[in-house]
Amino acid sequence: MTAKEYISEQLENFLKFKHIEDLDIILQKPKDTKHGDFASNLALQAARHLKKKPADIAAEIRDYITIDEQYISKIEIAGPGFLNFFAASDNLFAQLSQILEQREQFGRSDLGKGKKAQVEFVSANPTGPLTIGHGRGAVFGDTICRLLEANGYDVTREYYFNNAGRQMRVLGESVRLRYLEELGETVTFPDDHYQGNYIRDIAQTIIKKHGSALKDDPESLVFKDTAEAAIFADIKQTIKRLGFEFDVFYNEKTLYDEGRIDAVVRELNKKGLIACRENATWFLSSKLGMEQDRVFVKSSGEPTYRLPDTAYHIEKIKRGYDLIIDVFGADHIAAFPDVLAAVKALDYDVEKIKVLIHQFVTLTENGEKVKMSTRKANFITLDDLMDDVGEDVTRYFFLMRNMNAHLNFDLELARTQSDENPVFYIQYAHARICSIISLGKTKQLSPDQNANFQLLKETEELNVIKHLLSFPGIVKASAVHYEPHRLVNYLFELASLFHRFYTVCRVVTEDAELSKARLSLIDAVKTVLANGLGLLGISAPEQM
């Protein structure tokens, strides 16, 4: 049992003793180590139940808890009733040894054991290469999958796409017009068509295969089909560069072929939630407390995306997932509540559906915003970005801010090949440790999980150990709250603590026992850095 687990158990026992059932035990790490290793506001929370001053309740809790020096050395009361707990050194050292024993498994949990999760992300229609806008959702979605997997979930990565509709018709027509241009024809190219160089590349591919045979065949599906195949191949290759692959590519067309679209309209109609107005089919979401009704099928007969999205989410639920996660860009923020309302109205459990919205990305260079447009020719693809700054930097920068915050992707900082670049700062800590361990081996000194950790008494050493031991909690919290930036911040702080330790404490010394203890400590840091970077999809180099 860890010190944190012991404290949590004692606090839970106190609540049971007082017959309080609706309070959660929250232990936080104090910003100042002088205030202990863990802090709790339980006394303040319990005040309304016990009708006492928080300070008096805090004293009651302190007296209730048994000071077991295997886990905690003392408890202090601070401020209006906060409880500060100090972990016992022996407990810290025993847990440090566990890191070296568990290695790659350290930080993992069985939180989601036996549960299936489906994460849908990227889901861009095949109309062009993935841009940096797609990149944030791609990296965020994959990292959520990695975190869930680290906590025991069986995860399915899914990509949902539509290869029909107006966007695809415009794509096909864009390729056809470039095809005619490449054949020497003079054409008028509409502003709302796709204008990137990739359209010309696809047109040239068609010329190589068909020559001018399609010149007088504006209805040919070759233009759209060739474009779709080429763009999807490009998307899959880009995703692979980011370090993952999708398990499922789900085509919206399947929903039509299997009658799921019609079934949604039919079942909603039975519940009095469908109406026909102005030759359009409306979902009467106002009856469910929404602000206004929504068009499900336009007067042209073409469904809006809310209708197939409703059918798709019902299909996901029927597959039996325990957790269904949608990773959307901010442009979906107005649509998904209507979809969930329709799914719920049809008596499906929407509680298992979690919608994660990430804000937009702004790319800056030399202090200036880089303007981008998918249909115009002035956009930067995700591949362009990875070519420029590398895959590791790309992933790190997309993850370093809370998904709810707008992300300013600073190209100048991303290109910096020094420890000013935060991802290099973390990776350099890992590489330096590898170098120190190699140096130790030349002197017949190696890490040992049975080393005498009692020799680690310096403040910098203890700070590193305490931070290492909070890693499993960070991995769990990052998954439960869907916030990978927590892990990013944790790793940066761990690297900072290591670098501070390294400047104060010489690792390989004339004292063999102390050297072994410190080598073992930095080996634990190396393990946690590698495990954490792996969860972010970032490499842990041994040399830099």
Strands (E), 402-527: 407-410
**pLDDT for the residue numbered 58:** 92
Give residues with Cβ within 8 angstroms of 190, minimum separation 6: none
**pLDDT for the residue numbered 275:** 96
Q: Shortest CA distance to 194 belongs to which of 178, 210, 171? A: 171
**pLDDT for the residue numbered 375:** 46
Residue 266: how many other CB atoms lie within 10 Å: 11
**Residue where the block lists tokens 């079942």:** 267
Q: Are 95 and 469 in contact (CB under 8 A)?
A: yes
3-87: CATH topology is Gyrase A; domain 2 (3.30.1360)
**pLDDT for the residue numbered 372:** 61
First to last CA, the chain: 38
What is the greatest pairwise CA distance in the chain?
90
**pLDDT for the residue numbered 5:** 81
- All CATH 1.10.730.10 domain ranges of the chain, comma separated, are 419-535
What is the residue type of 293?
A: D
**pLDDT for the residue numbered 169:** 92
What is residue 196's DSSP assignment? S
Residues of the chain with pLDDT under 70: 1, 69, 371-379
The tokens for 428 are 């350099």
136: buried, middle or exposed (CB in 10 Å: 19+, 13-18, 0-12)? buried
**Helix, strand, coil distribution of the chain in percent, nearest 5:** 50, 15, 35
- All CATH 3.30.1360.70 domain ranges of the chain, comma separated, are 3-87
419-535: CATH topology is Isoleucyl-tRNA Synthetase; Domain 1 (1.10.730)
What H or E segment, with its residue span, contains residue 531?
Answer: helix 512-535
The tokens for 514 are 């102390």
Q: Shortest CA distance to 83 belongs to which of 70, 68, 69, 72? A: 72
- Supply the pTM of this predicted model: 0.88
Q: Shortest CA distance to 374 belongs to which of 169, 229, 164, 167? A: 167
CA distances from 286 to 49, 180, 267, 290 (A): 40, 49, 17, 5
